[in-house]
Amino acid sequence: MRKRLDVLICAGANCVSSHSLDIKKKLEEELEKNQLKDEVNIVETGCMGPCQLGPIMIVYPDGSFYIRLKEEDVSNIVKEHFLKGRPVKRLLWTTPEATKVIEEKKKIPFFEKQKKIVLANCGKINPENIEEYIAVGGYEALAKVLTKMSSEKVIEEITKSKLVGRGGAGFPTGLKWKFVKESQGDEKYVICNADEGDPGAFKDRAILEGDPHTVIEGMAIAGYTVGANNGYIYIRAEYPLAIKRLEIAIEQARKYGLLGKNIFETNFNFDIELRMGAGAFIAGEETALIASIEGKRGMPHQKPPYPAQKGVWGKPTLINNVETLANIRHIMLNGGDWFSSIGTENSKGTKLFALSGKVNNTGLIEIPFGLTLGEVIFDIGGGIPKGKKFKAIQMGGPSGGYITSEFLNLPVDYKEIEKTGAIIGSAGMIVLDEDNCMVNMAKFFIEFTMSESCGQCTPCRIGLKQMYDILDRITNGEGTLEDLEELEILGNQIKSTSLCALGGTAPNPVLTGLKYFRDEFIEHVVNKKCRAGVCASLFYAPCVNSCPAGVDVPRYLAHMTAGRLKEAFLIHMEHNPFPSVCARVCPAFCENPCERGKFDESIAIREVKRLFADWATESGVEFAPPQKLKKEKVAIVGSGPAGLSCAFYLTRLGYKPVLFESLPVPGGMMQVGIPDYRLPKDALEQEIKRIVKSGVDLRLNSPVNSVKELKDMGFDAIFISVGAHCSEQLGVKSEELKGVIGGIEFLQDISLKRKNINLKDKKVIVVGGGSTAMDAARTALRVGSKDVSVVYRRSREEMPAQASEINEAMEEGIKFYFLTNPVEFSGNKRIEKVKCIKMEFKGFDKSGRRRPIPKEGSKFEIEGDLVLLCIGQRPELSKFSEELETNKNGTLKVDKVTLETNIKGVYAGGDAVLGPSTVVEAVEQGRKASIFIDKFFGYDGEFSFPQRDIVETSFNEDEYLKVIPRKTPKLEEIEKRIKSFVEVNKGLLLEEAIEESKRCLKCDRGKEIYREREKIVGELEEVA
């Protein structure tokens, strides 16, 4: 009797490790309990693909795709779905974008772009039952070949198909079969290479565990074609599940007469024996594999002779990869032309890939050649988890290389991938994000190949060890620039002189690492910095490592656990004199890599900071000006965060700097660009006052016209920090209409009260997606407009503004038009309408973001009385243009290490150098400049902050090593918010901040005294 429902449970190795077989057992129990045993058919299948979501279960005929099942879920599914016909929605697969649960398998983005030929049966049939294989057409190809095709015809079809080896070398399969067939010999052999040892590769195991007969059939066809009666499958011992399934399959095939004598009543005999490896990666190399089968040490030998002439036992041998053999029967059934119609010019058919690493949908996929890498990672793979930034794909295992974001539009194709320096190889794609260190990865791969080297040839045996030692020193902070050169020389030498492909390709991860991520390697050796926060010897704690100013976060958090506000404040001031400002507006780079975030949620560092920052403001803590002043005079142009920071740190170094500000108020963008509801003016003013009182001569309403002017006034060194206050233009028609102004200019007008602005009954359109756009939109709301829209050309996920800003803006009733771009302004002398076009994503741009292109025929209009352009800012440098060199993008050109401009003694920093960035980055530049100015005068650039002691602190594991959500501050009520500029974020209470600090895992425990890190290492000469 045909059963009503078929329930497929994935029993591939990954799901089995997630206890899918326990789910099956529970299901059997529940079916028994509910008397459904006769109506529901349970099938244990091979790998279904999305390994991260296991245990997986699919119910047919409706195609419901259940994921991440637990034993408790089973009875629910049986009752609701099997008995009552209602699939349990909360257990079905949803993707991050899908607001609707995707109920059918074929609509799931993971599967939509795949094309399953090799994996056609995987996940559909029970691999331990040959009858299911036969029922879906298994062994038909073998029958056809044995009874209707000559071996020449077989080779002809395979040659037509243009199938190439799927093990990594990509040698044309038709040609290889021809060589073996034509080889002289009475005895020939067919070997299936199932020694899949490349880290990151798990495609072959899926085929063997999910559809072993497809490989057996392929081998039999191969045997017939080349004239071999015996086959070996060489499989690594680390795959016990695959071994078991193969043993069962071979046994069943023999029983059914598909292996053995007179197959299909022809006079073709063929049988297969299993051979196991024993933990030697090199045994995957064909000559080493042969040696291993012969019972010897698995060491490769020189080629020629090739196995096709002299293989196992000295006889002609055909060696093919599992996936190659799995393709054969399809080509026999559908023809070579069919196969070569799939794919690209150079790469035909489909390819299996194993996705792992930092991608949402890890697992096994099969795609036609020609799909782009971006589609694989972002559509099928579902993108990078936790909103992190994509860094690179490591493809091809230890023989491979890196593919960076500029190649995301590249089609998956042997030749195209090779152009980047990577190879498809064993088809493992390890996705890396911003938290991965490329130097560390390079070291890891070399460690692997070094330990798997068979030892025969000197370049590999000794050379790889040399490379490893160099990389080890670099990750421990002892590397030099010469080491990088040495790595390249060694790498190339090893590649060209090694005996086999292990040595021949082992240097690739290092060489491609140096090619695409040279900056990171240089940072490791020159700056002793690991930007990803991985090489533990190079950083103190991940939060400090990510803070552009290097503020000692763990130390002040430690003080905060005991409520020591003053000590916490003083530590912050050593690196950043704006705790109050940053507590409110910093994007909190420190919170991103917070280790606590991997456990539950990252520490709310910014919110904790606010407590001691506001305390300091209230209690009026001051820094006394230096008692003895150094004789040199320093001028600073621009009193934004860079200028004020430079001024403060210069006072700590013994100077009395003169700070020139052209506006009537100090603070730069902090004062005029960030509205009060985010940064209350008195908080800012107190911090500026504190800096001025520390010994700064602040001169307002004092514009500077040239460097020469300052030099004439007798200044010995100058720091230029004029910021970037000019709004960029869109470059569209009629941009000069009245009512189209820059967002920054609008914010400045309001904060300086230059114009009395009331936007009652006015429609406002803000163009842009960053903080300035959010500030402009929310300010427009607060000065009377009830109709504010934001137009942004990308999607919400890509908006550069902080998530909290976007949420708060939406709460306040601001409308958002995503994937929309203005193309024309229209009106009679004054703006009346903005014509926009909808955008859609097609491919990726060089930075790895989806590329928006205009959607044909989707123009529409929005009415507007005021348009605020917030698409970026440029520095206004016309006054200095004759004296100072600029970069192509209009920012000031400075030395990367010292921040010196082309004029000796003249330094620059902040937005004027970086382009629009953040307060904390400007602060870092100001502080750095102060050090180099001090050195310029011949002093040592060392601050006289109080000597640090070890802070006594403890961590109560029982209380704090469990899931504790992060504290979030209360926000002002929406009605109150939109009527005034009252501060929106009310901040945490002191008790809450203390509790929050106690969650810190103290990653700095046991590390050297922080002061050691202050040494800025040398000055870079010519950095290639």
Partner 1 sequence: MTKEKIIKSFEKKPENLLLALHSLQENNVNHYLTKDDLMEISKYFSLPYSFVYGVASFYSMFSFKPRGKYIVRVCKSPPCHLMGASSIIDELKKVLRINFGETTKDNLFTLEFSSCLGVCGVAPAMMINEEVFGNLTPQRIRKIIEEKREEK
Distance in angstroms (rounded) separating the CA atoms of residues 6 and 44: 11
Burial letters 726-761, b for 16+ CB under 10 A, else e:
bbbebeeeeeebebbbbbbbbbbebbeeeeebebee
Among 295, 714, 731, 1006, binds partner 1 (CB under 8 A): 295
Q: How far is the CB of 210 from partner 1 (least distance, A)?
A: 13
Task: Yes or no: say if 784 and 981 are a contact pair by the CB < 8 Å rule.
Answer: no
Judged by CB under 8 A, the chain residues 448 through 467 that form the site for partner 1 are 448, 452, 454
Closest to partner 1 by CB, 99 vs 956, is 956
Residue span 39-78 as binding mask against partner 1, x where in contact by CB under 8 A, dash where not: -----------xxx-x------------------------
Q: How far is the CB of 454 from partner 1 (least distance, A)?
A: 8
275 lies in the site for partner 1, by CB under 8 A: yes
CA distances for 639 relative to 376, 650, 670, 702, angstroms: 48, 14, 10, 11
Judged by CB under 8 A, the chain residues 614 through 643 that form the site for partner 1 are none
- Which two structure tokens, joined as six digits, stand for 440? 């560390």
Among 127, 200, 396, 827, binds partner 1 (CB under 8 A): 200
Among 20, 193, 394, 898, binds partner 1 (CB under 8 A): 394
Q: What is the DSSP string of 560-593?
A: HHTT-HHHHHHHHHTT-S-HHHHHHH---GGGTT
Closest to partner 1 by CB, 140 vs 472, is 472
Nearest to 646 by CA among 656, 631, 654, 636: 636
Closest to partner 1 by CB, 452 vs 787, is 452
Q: How far is the CB of 755 from partner 1 (least distance, A)?
A: 54
Distance in angstroms (rounded) separating the CA atoms of residues 113 and 258: 35
197 lies in the site for partner 1, by CB under 8 A: yes
805: enclosing H helix or E strand? helix 803-811
Closest to partner 1 by CB, 454 vs 565, is 454
- Which two structure tokens, joined as six digits, stand for 862? 């929005």
Amino acid (one-letter) located at 654: G
**Contact stretch for partner 1 (CB under 8 A) within 15-23, 300-308, 792-800, 822-830:** 15-23
Residue given tokens 């320096």 in the structure block: 421
Judged by CB under 8 A, the chain residues 657 through 716 that form the site for partner 1 are none
- Classify 322 as helix, strand or coil: helix
- Which two structure tokens, joined as six digits, stand for 647? 């001024």
- For 157, list phi and psi in degrees, rounded to 5: -65, -40
Residue given tokens 């240097």 in the structure block: 507
Closest to partner 1 by CB, 262 vs 451, is 451
Residue span 815-834 as binding mask against partner 1, x where in contact by CB under 8 A, dash where not: --------------------
Distance in angstroms (rounded) separating the CA atoms of residues 627 and 944: 13
Judged by CB under 8 A, the chain residues 422 through 451 that form the site for partner 1 are 428, 430, 432, 436, 441, 444-445, 448
CA distances for 176 relative to 27, 222, 232, 308, 309, angstroms: 48, 11, 17, 7, 11
Sign of the C-alpha dihedral computed for residues 80, 81, 84 and 85 taken in this order: positive
Among 8, 9, 11, 16, binds partner 1 (CB under 8 A): 16
Nearest to 808 by CA among 976, 565, 953: 976
Q: How far is the CB of 398 from partner 1 (least distance, A)?
A: 9
Distance in angstroms (rounded) separating the CA atoms of residues 117 and 94: 26
Closest to partner 1 by CB, 351 vs 794, is 351
Alpha helices in 673-770 (DSSP H): 681-693, 707-712, 743-751
How many residues interact with partner 1 (rule CB under 8 A)?
A: 57
- Classify 723 as helix, strand or coil: coil
Q: How far is the CB of 188 from partner 1 (least distance, A)?
A: 16
CA 327 to chain centre: 33
Closest to partner 1 by CB, 454 vs 801, is 454
Closest to partner 1 by CB, 541 vs 691, is 541
Closest to partner 1 by CB, 197 vs 641, is 197
Q: Which residues contact 649 (CB under 8 A, 6 or more apart)?
A: 577, 926, 927, 930, 931, 943
Distance in angstroms (rounded) separating the CA atoms of residues 243 and 989: 61
Task: Yes or no: say if 642 and 658 are a contact pair by the CB < 8 Å rule.
Answer: no
Closest to partner 1 by CB, 356 vs 617, is 356
Task: Yes or no: say if 839 and 691 are a contact pair by the CB < 8 Å rule.
Answer: no
Sign of the C-alpha dihedral computed for residues 404, 410, 411 and 416 taken in this order: negative
279 lies in the site for partner 1, by CB under 8 A: yes
Judged by CB under 8 A, the chain residues 299 through 318 that form the site for partner 1 are 299
Residue span 348-367 as binding mask against partner 1, x where in contact by CB under 8 A, dash where not: ------xxxxx---xxx---
Distance in angstroms (rounded) separating the CA atoms of residues 434 and 989: 33
Angle between helices 771-782 and 803-811 (to 10 degrees): 20
Judged by CB under 8 A, the chain residues 515 through 534 that form the site for partner 1 are none
Distance in angstroms (rounded) separating the CA atoms of residues 203 and 101: 29
Q: How far is the CB of 196 from partner 1 (least distance, A)?
A: 6
Closest to partner 1 by CB, 146 vs 208, is 208
Alpha helices in 827-986 (DSSP H): 911-914, 919-936, 957-960, 974-979
Q: How far is the CB of 241 from partner 1 (least distance, A)?
A: 8
Among 14, 317, 617, 789, binds partner 1 (CB under 8 A): 14
Burial class (CB in 10 A: 0-12, 13-18, 19+), 92: middle
* DSSP E strand stretches across 398-470: 401-404, 428-433
Query: Using the 8-state DSSP alphabet, how is residue 810 labeled?
Result: H
Q: How far is the CB of 529 from partner 1 (least distance, A)?
A: 19
Among 111, 268, 270, 281, binds partner 1 (CB under 8 A): 281
Among 199, 421, 784, 854, binds partner 1 (CB under 8 A): 199
652 lies in the site for partner 1, by CB under 8 A: no
Closest to partner 1 by CB, 274 vs 462, is 274
Closest to partner 1 by CB, 243 vs 551, is 243
Q: How far is the CB of 287 from partner 1 (least distance, A)?
A: 15
Among 20, 126, 193, 292, binds partner 1 (CB under 8 A): 292
- Residue 886's DSSP bridge partners are 892
Among 31, 108, 249, 280, binds partner 1 (CB under 8 A): 280
Residue span 577-606 as binding mask against partner 1, x where in contact by CB under 8 A, dash where not: ---------------------x--------
Closest to partner 1 by CB, 283 vs 526, is 283
Supply angle C-alpha 944, 947, 950, rounded to 5.
150
Judged by CB under 8 A, the chain residues 216 through 255 that form the site for partner 1 are 237-241
**Contact stretch for partner 1 (CB under 8 A) within 38-46, 107-115, 275-283, 634-642:** 275-283
**Contact stretch for partner 1 (CB under 8 A) within 9-17, 538-546, 662-670, 723-731:** 9-17
Closest to partner 1 by CB, 204 vs 934, is 204
Task: Yes or no: say if 825 and 735 are a contact pair by the CB < 8 Å rule.
Answer: yes
Closest to partner 1 by CB, 358 vs 999, is 358
**Contact stretch for partner 1 (CB under 8 A) within 120-128, 279-287, 339-347, 921-929:** 279-287
**Contact stretch for partner 1 (CB under 8 A) within 8-16, 134-142, 703-711, 899-907:** 8-16
Q: Which residues make up the interface to partner 1 (CB under 8 A)?
A: 13-14, 16-18, 50-52, 54, 196-202, 205, 237-241, 275-281, 292-299, 354-358, 362-364, 394, 428, 430, 432, 436, 441, 444-445, 448, 452, 454, 598
